[in-house]
Amino acid sequence: MGELILQAKNLKTYLYLASGVVKAVDGVSFDLKRGMTLGIVGESGSGKSMTASSIMRLLPKNTGKIVEGEILFDGRNVLTLSKKELLEYRGKEVSLISQDPMTSLDPVFKVGYQMVEMIRAHRNVTVEEARAISIDSLKKVGIPNPESRMDSYPYELSGGMCQRVIIAMAISAQPKLVIADEPTTALDVTVQAQVLNLLKEMQRNLNTSIMLITHNLGIVWEMCDEVMVMYAGKTVEHTTARKLYAEALHPYTWGLLDSMPKLSQDSKTELITIPGTPPDLRLTGGCCNFYNRCPYALQVCSERVPELIEVNPGHFVACHRQSKDSTLERVGVKINA
Ligand SMILES: Nc1ncnc2c1ncn2[C@@H]1O[C@H](COP(=O)(O)OP(=O)(O)OP(=O)(O)O)[C@@H](O)[C@H]1O
């Protein structure tokens, strides 16, 4: 068994809003080993980004709070790190490539300055060396004329360019863990592939662990060792990417898989969507969060929260219909809205 780099144990992150308490992450547990990639998938609003923000300890000020559970990084408790330790932790140990690159760049400083400062904060190198590393990383992520781009301000770059700068920064810092939250959404397809390859290359060279948050199941098969499917703040299924692809067990996962565009579909075929919408996260609890959308729901699904159980080795699922003794055959999800 590989060495663990990250562990979340029964993590609960709530948002205290004027309209009520949003259970954004509601009892999530997982392990990530060194050099491995964990994918997190699920519809918008299922708590993927909040899980990432909890690991980074970057929750919305005043409203976001980790109310229960533990996050261990390399055996250290992330939730008790001091301000100084947190600064070390972010960047040197863990880098976040977020969905919105503009929030990760300071608008008042040139790109080169920000990169050099970040590298020098985490690696023992001179300004000249940090500059050379920055230019090399910018080149690797496909930024044309990297030397001159070092003198650009973030607002002078397009969204896609800024995203590539953030990825270059993450690569230059050589962290033990990269959390990539929809890292390629803002990029065109050829650059997407380039960026994913760079992440893989870094992983191979430095044994980096990756947590990859994505809507794109194709990217999951390409990149991930394990996959965790989230729905309404909870893990509904967790197993290897191979098993999820070949023998998914949760009806929600079936819906996600069926919603994937198929190569065999011609462009006129209507894409399948899961009917209904995820529940209001202020009101969850006491039942399976998916029961009112689930074609297989039983009475018990509206009365009890299903536990995440290991139905076969390394395959966890939270569904009343799936257990060690009885499994529900996948006969195709009724998906029409
Ligand atoms: N800053 C915020 N203020 C208030 N509510 C928020 C905030 N950020 C997230 N939420 C709420 O927390 C819940 C979980 O959101 P989260 O961003 O983690 O979902 P997600 O799965 O990452 O979705 P997406 O794929 O759209 O990024 C949602 O109900 C969302 O509306």
Instruction: Determine the Cα–Cα distance for residues 268 and 91; give it in Å rounded to an integer.
Output: 45
C-alpha 321 – ligand 1 centre gap (Å): 28
In a domain, 237, yes or no: no
On average, the pLDDT of the chain sits at 88
How far is CA 309 from each of CA 4, 28, 44, 183, 253, rounded to the nearest angstrom?
Answer: 21, 13, 25, 31, 16
Residue 281 alpha carbon, nearest atom of ligand 1: 29
75 and 19 housed in the same domain:
yes
In a domain, 325, yes or no: no
User: Which of 25, 50, 289 should be mutated for ligand 1, with most atoms under 8 A from CB?
Assistant: 50
Name 230's bridge partners: 235
184 and 260 housed in the same domain:
no
20 Cβ inside 6 Å of ligand 1: no
78 and 165 housed in the same domain:
yes
Site of tokens 């960026």: 195
**Using an 8 Å Cβ cutoff, are 291 and 297 in contact?**
yes
**Using an 8 Å Cβ cutoff, are 197 and 115 in contact?**
no
In a domain, 296, yes or no: yes
257 and 219 housed in the same domain:
no
In a domain, 163, yes or no: yes
Q: Which residues contact 300 (CB under 8 A, 6 or more apart)?
A: 320
SS3 200: helix
SS3 226: strand
pTM of the shown model: 0.90
Instruction: Determine the Cα–Cα distance for residues 139 and 143; give it in Å rounded to an integer.
Output: 5
Triad 45, 47, 48: Cα angle to 5°: 105
Token digits for 169? 């920064």
What is the tally of structural domains in the chain? 2
Instruction: Determine the Cα–Cα distance for residues 129 and 151; give it in Å rounded to an integer.
Output: 17
In a domain, 246, yes or no: no
- CATH (domain of 141): 3.40.50.300
166-182 per-residue burial string, b: 16 or more CB within 10 A, e: under 16: bbbbbbbbbbbbbbbbb
In a domain, 145, yes or no: yes
Name 226's bridge partners: 38, 240
101 Cβ inside 6 Å of ligand 1: no
37 and 134 housed in the same domain:
yes
**Using an 8 Å Cβ cutoff, are 33 and 209 in contact?**
yes
220 and 294 housed in the same domain:
no
C-alpha 61 – ligand 1 centre gap (Å): 14
Residue of the nearest CA to atom 12 in ligand 1? 24
In a domain, 234, yes or no: no
Residue 53 alpha carbon, nearest atom of ligand 1: 18
DSSP of 71-126: EEETTEEGGG--HHHHHHIIIIIEEEE-S-GGGTS-TTS-HHHHHHHHHHHHS---
| Domain extent for 282 | 253-317
32 Cβ inside 6 Å of ligand 1: no
Nearest one of 336, 195, 191 to 276, comparing CA atoms: 336
C-alpha 248 – ligand 1 centre gap (Å): 25
Token digits for 272? 């399948």
pLDDT in tens, 255-298: 888 877 665 555 555 666 677 888 888 888 899 999 989 888 89
178 and 279 housed in the same domain:
no
In a domain, 144, yes or no: yes
136 and 217 housed in the same domain:
yes
234 Cβ inside 6 Å of ligand 1: no
C-alpha 130 – ligand 1 centre gap (Å): 35
Average pLDDT, consecutive stretches of 10 residues, N- to C-terminus, the chain (337 residues): 90 96 97 97 93 95 96 96 92 86 85 92 91 93 91 89 87 91 78 84 92 90 95 97 93 86 58 77 90 89 94 94 72 48
90 and 206 housed in the same domain:
yes
43 and 100 housed in the same domain:
yes
pLDDT at position 335, please? 42
276 Cβ inside 6 Å of ligand 1: no
C-alpha 138 – ligand 1 centre gap (Å): 30
129 and 192 housed in the same domain:
yes
34 and 97 housed in the same domain:
yes
C-alpha 49 – ligand 1 centre gap (Å): 7
pLDDT in tens, 131-187: 999 999 999 888 889 999 999 999 998 878 888 898 898 888 889 999 999 887 767
